[in-house]
Amino acid sequence: MFLAVNLTARSEDDVRRAKEVNTLVTSGYAQAVAHYDNGKVDGEIPKKLRIAEVNNTDAPPKTLHVNTSLAREYYTGQIEPTEFTEQYWDTERNQTAKEKRFTRRLDKRAGNGTIHPEK
């Protein structure tokens, strides 16, 4: 599963940026995994969630991922919340050129009109 998000730039507020991602993961993806496991969601569950940021800054956009197995450990209480967040933040890296193009196309198709055409 791939999620493109416009995050707060690090230069503006790194704490807010982290909070935005953490909310997506804990209140979004981990809950979706729990609903799937409890039979409330049908279909095939993805192996992981990739979060890719879109930005208009000069900083390289980042990406990170959350394995479904890790989300499952979190919602079942097998892992402490601090360790959970540390594990997925440890996957953060700069996007590849291919990921940047894919993320920007996805974001533009979703209607984001704030992306500068030359970036």
pLDDT given at position 74: 94
Strand partners, 48: 67
Spatial CA neighbour of 64 closest among 84, 50, 81, 46: 50
CA 49 centroid distance within chain: 6
CA distances from 90 to 20, 45, 56, 81 (A): 16, 23, 24, 14
Report the share of the chain in percent with pLDDT over 70.
84
Q: Where are the domains of the chain?
A: 2-109
* pTM value surpassing 0.95: no
Are the CB atoms for 103 and 52 separated by under 8 Å?
yes
pLDDT digits (tens, 9 = 90+) for 57-79: 777 888 999 999 999 999 999 99
Rounded to a whole number of angstroms, the CA Rg of the chain reads 15
With tokens 């050129």, the residue in question is 97
Structure tokens at 93: 């890296």
Residues 6 or more apart from 105 whose CB is under 8 A from it?
A: none
pLDDT digits (tens, 9 = 90+) for 19-48: 888 888 888 899 999 999 999 988 999 999
CA distances from 74 to 9, 30, 32, 33, 63 (A): 27, 7, 12, 10, 21
Cα–Cα distance between 79 and 71 in angstroms, integer?
Answer: 9
pLDDT given at position 12: 61
- Banded model confidence at residue 53, pLDDT cuts 50, 70, 90: confident
